[in-house]
Amino acid sequence: MEGYYDPHFGQHYYVPGVYLGSEEYYLVRNASQFHKTASIKISADTGQKYTRELFATLPGRSKETIIIDSHTDGATWVQENGVAGLLALAKYFAAQPMSSPDRAKTLKFAFTSGHLTYSRDGSIPYAKKLDEEYDNGDNSLVIVLEHMGAREILPSPAPKGQYGRVLNFTGRSESTLWSVGPTNAVVDLVSAAIKERNLDGFIVTPGNPPKNTSQIPYYASQGGIGTTYHDYLIPTTSIISGPWSLWAPSFGESAIEFSRLRTELMVVADVVLSLAPFSKAGIAGEYSEYREMRANGFPWKEPKWETQYPPGPRG
């Protein structure tokens, strides 16, 4: 084998390697004891390509803007359904007259690409742009949607005579992380909206891993692409789950509980509507302090995907 490709970091490794399932692993291992040989070949062309991104603005009565973002490069129904959420929210809000309370804020819908190749994630340059514009601009909050409405799947031992484990639906919804940066106004609105819609399985958190006050932001991750905006000190809240079906296209649409997905999107809409009376400063919370601390030289966890994981061959 000549090598393998790592899509996350955009690197083509020349070290021999292949990923195997549990049954295939035992088959290969047992065959090797008898010095058997086999071949595997994947023919592919490599090269630089462009991906498409879309940014759409729906004007409101106020120029203060809420940005709703999701990535467009998922491999499964769970990976990709944030895009469907953006389209549904855009369709709803666009149908409301300008005089409606629903149109109090300007909304921007961001369909970014390249997330699965982290070093070229489209949210990175977009977050940089928002950071540069934030202090003198109208952008007030980023809401990120990923992996919504997922059904819980858990592993169990494989039937007798088979290797490894098998995945089965439990009948419950997948636990979902709803990260909210250091803005009490958004924390309260998110918590109230979840309770009002009686959604279970949501964990409202300031982020992860444990709090580190030696740098800003104190919580360095929001679990997904919300992390990029959060790390650039843009007020951010993001939804993400991580079911066992996340990387398994074989589950298809059965991995999604569509009634649950719809309710989750309604909760997002509730949060957007509840933000109407809040000014940009009222939404910002401690992000304003973070930005001032950074300006005064306090250690800042700047995203460095492009320098840490530059795309290209690796020997």
The pairing of beta strand 202-205 with beta strand 176-180:
parallel
Tell me, what amino acid is at 41?
A: K
How many Å apart are CA 97 and CA 99, to the nearest integer? Answer: 5
What's the whole-number mean pLDDT along residues 107-134?
A: 90
In this prediction, residue 309 carries a pLDDT of 53
**Per residue in 56-110, pLDDT tens?**
999 999 999 999 999 887 789 999 899 999 999 999 999 999 999 899 999 999 9
Average pLDDT value over all residues in the chain: 89
Closest CA to 240 of 252, 223, 257: 223
Tokens describing residue 210: 């444990």
Per-domain boundaries in the chain: 54-295
CATH architecture of 54-295: 3-Layer(aba) Sandwich (3.40)
In this prediction, residue 308 carries a pLDDT of 54
Report yes or no: 78 and 245 within 8 Å, Cβ to Cβ.
yes
Report yes or no: 257 and 161 within 8 Å, Cβ to Cβ.
no
In this prediction, residue 306 carries a pLDDT of 54
**Per residue in 210-250, pLDDT tens?**
899 999 999 989 988 899 999 999 999 999 999 999 988 89
Predicted structure pTM score: 0.90
What contacts 46, CB < 8 A, 6 or more positions away? 5, 12
What contacts 186, CB < 8 A, 6 or more positions away? 141, 180, 235, 237, 271, 275, 283, 285
How many Å apart are CA 21 and CA 164, to the nearest integer? Answer: 9
